[in-house]
Homo-oligomer: A and B are copies of this chain.
Amino acid sequence: MRYELHYWPSIPGRGEFVRLALEEAGVPYVDVARTRGGQERMLALLEDGALARPPFAPPFLKAGKLVIGQTANILLFLGERHGLAPKSEAGRFFTHQLQLTIADLVAEAHDTHHPIAGSLYYEDQRAEAKRRAADFVATRLPKYFRYFERVLAGNAAGAAHLVGARLTYADLSLFQVVAGLRYAFPKAMARQAKGHPLVLALHDRVAARPRIAAYLASDRQLPFNEQGIFRHYAELDR
């Protein structure tokens, strides 16, 4: 069976968290919307009245007959199946807790450029975006980074991973968040670098894993841009 990942074809977005897990697991998958006619198939599935258990929005993963929506839920599924999560109950739930905290951070990063409505252009909410981004950079970003640094420092198995002694999907996702935030807020992230060496070391360690490094060097990975979640607008990065 080949997994089918369904996500917007022009941005890394939330789909990237799933791609990283699929790539690290080394399992075959199709990035459906990037194939010919694939985006139309994705949109048709979203509106398919015959689908009893539909996803609300991309990304979603088809695994045989299963259709699984919500990024963190897809990672929960892939983590169980492909050894990207601990086997212990405590480890499983803590990994998922971290993933959901990362999801909150991602949503907040998105809302820095879309504080009013996803249906409006950035240009229609620039003034509000400046206010929201200023708070994000001053209070929220440091709070999240302090938290993840603390989790790494507190890991009884060592600071190389967020949970236990092996890589989990939460490590992959934190890598992506660091990369995205560096793209969007290079100045703010330069300030974060000093206080959070463990988070940044985790980023570099994930990037150097053979399968991830091969993926990052391939054209399967989409670059960040100003249509995605992590956007660089210099006026929001003070």
Contact = CB atoms under 8 A, between A and B. Distances in A.
A72 interface: yes
A147 B76 contact: no
Interface stretch (A91-99, A175-183, A199-207): A91-99
Interface in A40-62: 49, 51-56
Number of copies: 2
Interface stretch (A19-27, A148-156, A229-237): A148-156
Contacts of A120: 135
A54 B94 CA distance: 9
A70 to B, nearest CB: 4
A34 to B, nearest CB: 23
Nearest to A94: B53
Nearest to A100: B70
Contacts of A132: 115-117
A213 to B, nearest CB: 29
A98 to B, nearest CB: 9
A143 to B, nearest CB: 8
Contact of A128 (B76, B128, B151, B155): B128
Contacts of A131: 116-117, 125, 128
A107 interface: yes
A154 B56 CA distance: 14
A139 interface: yes
Interface in A94-135: 94, 96-97, 100-101, 104, 107, 111, 115-117, 119-120, 125, 128, 131-132, 135
Interface of A: 49, 51-56, 65-66, 68-70, 72-73, 76-77, 89-90, 93-94, 96-97, 100-101, 104, 107, 111, 115-117, 119-120, 125, 128, 131-132, 135, 139, 144, 147, 150-151, 154-156, 163
